[in-house]
């Protein structure tokens, strides 16, 4: 039966409202769909029992009509769709939808337009209640029919024919007396905190943009950091109560004129009229820096804040939200409990990063990335101990782009993992050639980025590259920072031990910058420590000299090799030699060289500058 054609989209009349109230029956299980004007699903969420069974990633980004609607009903649903786009009310509608297994289920939908922009972009919210679920719960409803008829050309209404068995429900008079208010609440308020939600914020901003008042009015995004970890540590009930307490704390802190919204799992929004936004935010962070007692669990929460001025008639709602998001992202780059206020340069920076990301992807496909090699010298005999590989981007095969420009962006967008594989593959290939020139001590040293190291495929992809190349007596050394090694020390130990079997050793890079703990050094099965260049280049300072001396003495007691990084002067070279450092690298020894340049020096048996300084 074609159910949709029997229900006209423009519901009117008290009879229909009564009918809808009856069939809703106080349901706690429902579906929320946010979708764009072109029909693309932007957000999907199932509350309570998984009625349809879809995961968000299975449907988001797809057309709702392709996901939920059977081919036979698509024409009918196009009719509803057109009415919504034309701003005609189809607030309540009943139609069959497909669950994840392709089984049809009858849904009652509440529809509302929630957003628009200067470009007439339209965004809709649909909340769906399963009538099949009503049948299951009440075990009384056996069937229902609907009949559509036009009353006259000026007015239209619905008439329903329902058999005697259709609505035999317990306590008819108590079946969802305020159904309409309930779904209105779900649409515009957060269920946990009872605060206005993102849809309410968008509605407020839409009104605001069309009727701007004078004054410094700001939108603030407040994000609670690492709630996922707290969920794992304490459980969802504890974290839910924590969020409620934080919302109450915010209500106490804010003035009556301020507006507070809960716009996501870990995010609040505040609208305030204030002269000094920086002072306002600093005061807010200071007052939030408290310990919460949740059922005996003492929990401290970290925050990040982004803010933007919305006192601008030229800004659309979409633009305001984007600016606040950019400011929040920038604050998170600074660290925990930081804030950022939007300025135009952030948009320029974001645009620049977007262009670089796009070109990075092209560069990977076009093999534009090459390696340079910086020699590491043995201070005892002046021989080359190894080569540290350094990645360079030969953009369009014509200009070189500094790693300082592209590495941070690659880290952000996840391309650093792909770049890491390129570095490793090229390093192994070059080792085939270099091995014939060096003794067994020689190593190729490769920097492993934090994101690459914790990638779930790091071990398997590394082993795959090594096995494909089949090099005998290969000795690779992976450099990881102290911070990465120690954040999850058990994982680090596991990785090191697994890769040891393939001839890979590990070194701690930039040592001295972060933890530098004897306890950690004892636990980690590493081979070498690299003293950070910030210490090496300040060894003429008495305090720094003492720090470097202590590091070298400590590492020698633990049987670790020591490499001094960033040696740029003869005096730094001599000091490290006097302190007993094993190896050095830096521009005083040699700048990074291409594969061909290294080969020429090796074939000509050239020594590197600095190797004959101290004898």
User: Rounded CA gap, 295 and 518, in Å?
Assistant: 37
In what helix (H) or strand (E) does residue 317 lie, and over which residues does it extend?
A: helix 317-334
Q: How many CA atoms lie within 13 A of 246 on its CB side?
A: 30
Q: Whole-structure pTM over 0.75, yes or no?
A: no
User: Rounded CA gap, 507 and 561, in Å?
Assistant: 9
How do residues 85-122 score in pLDDT, each as one tens digit?
Answer: 776 656 667 778 888 888 888 787 877 776 554 455 67
**Is-contact 453 496, C-beta < 8 A?**
no
Tell me what pLDDT residue 148 has.
Answer: 32
Those residues with Cβ within 8 angstroms of residue 157's Cβ, 6 or more apart along the chain or in another chain: 12, 13, 15, 16, 151
In the beta sheet, which residues pair with residue 378?
A: 583
For 376-444, the DSSP string reads EEETTT--EEEEEEEEEEEETTTEEEPHHHHHHHHHHHTTHHHHHHHHHHHHHHHHHHHGGGS-TT-EE
Token duo for residue 122 = 């339209």
Average pLDDT over the chain reads 80
User: Rounded CA gap, 328 and 308, in Å?
Assistant: 10
- List C-alpha distances in Å: 283 to 85, 225, 321: 44, 19, 23
Stretches where the chain sits below pLDDT 50 are 1-26, 117-118, 137-178, 613-615
User: Rounded CA gap, 58 and 44, in Å?
Assistant: 9
User: Rounded CA gap, 379 and 531, in Å?
Assistant: 15
Tell me what pLDDT residue 312 has.
Answer: 59
For 160-207, the DSSP string reads ----TTTT--TTGGGS-TTHHHHHHHHHHB-TTT--B-HHHHHHHHHH
What is the radius of gyration, based on Cα positions, of the chain? 32
Our separate counts of H helices and E strands in the chain read 23, 23
| Closest listed residue to residue 4, CA positions, set 124, 86, 106 | 106
Q: Angle at the Cα of 330 (from 328 to 332), degrees rounded to 5?
A: 70
**Is-contact 309 293, C-beta < 8 A?**
no
Tell me what pLDDT residue 91 has.
Answer: 62
- List C-alpha distances in Å: 29 to 10, 45, 48, 191: 25, 11, 5, 13
Q: Which domains, ranges and CATH numbers included, belong to the chain?
A: 4-186 (3.30.450.20), 198-342 (3.30.70.270), 353-603 (3.20.20.450)
| Closest listed residue to residue 250, CA positions, set 221, 284, 297 | 284
Token duo for residue 508 = 């701690």
């Amino acid at each position: 039966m074609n159910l949709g054609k029997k229900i006209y989209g423009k519901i009117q009349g008290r009879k229909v409202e009564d009918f809808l109230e009856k069939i809703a029956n106080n349901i706690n299980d429902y579906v929320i769909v946010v979708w764009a004007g072109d029909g693309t699903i932007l957000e999907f969420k199932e509350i309570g029992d998984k009625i349809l069974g879809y995961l968000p990633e299975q449907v988001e980004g797809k057309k709702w009509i392709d996901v939920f609607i059977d081919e036979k009903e698509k024409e009918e649903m196009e009719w509803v769709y057109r009415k919504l786009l034309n701003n005609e009310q189809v607030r309540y509608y009943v139609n069959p939808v497909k669950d994840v297994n392709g089984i049809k289920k009858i849904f009652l939908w509440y529809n509302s337009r929630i957003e628009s922009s200067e470009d007439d972009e339209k965004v809709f919210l649909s909340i769906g209640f399963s009538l099949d679920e009503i049948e299951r719960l009440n075990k009384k409803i056996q069937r229902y029919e609907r009949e559509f008829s036009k009353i006259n050309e000026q007015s239209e209404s619905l008439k329903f024919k329902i058999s005697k068995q259709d609505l035999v429900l317990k306590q008819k008079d108590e079946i969802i007396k305020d159904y309409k208010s309930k779904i209105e609440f779900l649409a515009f308020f957060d269920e946990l905190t009872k605060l206005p939600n993102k849809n309410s914020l968008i509605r407020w901003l839409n009104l605001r943009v069309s009727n701007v008042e004078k004054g410094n009015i700001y939108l603030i995004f407040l994000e609670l950091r690492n709630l996922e970890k707290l969920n794992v540590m304490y459980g969802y009930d504890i974290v839910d109560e924590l969020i409620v307490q934080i919302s109450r704390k915010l209500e106490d802190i804010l003035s009556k004129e301020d507006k507070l919204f809960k716009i996501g799992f870990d995010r609040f929004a505040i609208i305030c009229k204030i002269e000094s936004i920086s002072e306002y935010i600093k005061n807010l962070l200071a007052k939030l820096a408290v310990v919460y007692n949740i059922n005996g669990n003492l929990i401290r929460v970290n925050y990040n804040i982004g803010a933007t001025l919305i006192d601008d008639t030229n800004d659309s709602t979409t633009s305001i939200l984007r600016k606040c998001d950019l400011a929040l992202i920038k604050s998170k780059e600074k660290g925990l409990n930081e804030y950022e206020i939007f300025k135009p340069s952030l948009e320029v920076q974001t645009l620049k990063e977007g262009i670089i990301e796009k070109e990075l992807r092209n560069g990977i496909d076009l093999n534009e990335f090459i390696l340079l090699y910086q020699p590491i010298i043995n201070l005892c005999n002046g021989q080359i101990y190894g080569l540290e590989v350094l990645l360079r981007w030969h953009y369009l095969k014509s200009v070189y782009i500094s790693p300082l420009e592209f590495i941070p962006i690659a880290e952000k967008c996840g391309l650093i993992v792909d770049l890491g594989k390129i570095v490793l593959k090229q390093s192994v290939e070059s080792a085939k050639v270099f091995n014939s020139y060096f003794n067994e001590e020689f190593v190729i040293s490769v920097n492993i980025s934090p994101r690459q190291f914790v990638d779930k495929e790091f071990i398997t992809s590394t082993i795959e590259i090594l096995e494909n190349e089949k090099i005998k007596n290969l000795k690779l050394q992976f450099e990881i920072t102290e911070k990465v090694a120690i954040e999850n020390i058990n994982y680090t130990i596991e990785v090191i031990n697994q890769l040891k079997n393939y001839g890979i050793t590990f070194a701690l890079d930039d040592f001295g910058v972060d933890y530098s703990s004897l306890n950690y050094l004892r636990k980690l099965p590493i081979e070498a420590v690299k003293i950070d260049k910030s210490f090496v280049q300040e060894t003429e300072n008495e305090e720094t000299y003492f720090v470097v001396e202590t590091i070298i003495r400590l590492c020698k007691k633990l049987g670790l090799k020591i490499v001094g990084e960033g040696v740029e002067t003869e005096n730094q070279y001599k000091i490290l030699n006097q302190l007993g450092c094993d190896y050095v690298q830096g521009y005083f020894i040699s700048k990074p060289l291409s594969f061909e340049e290294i080969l020429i020096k090796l074939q000509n048996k050239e020594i590197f500058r600095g190797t004959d300084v101290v004898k």
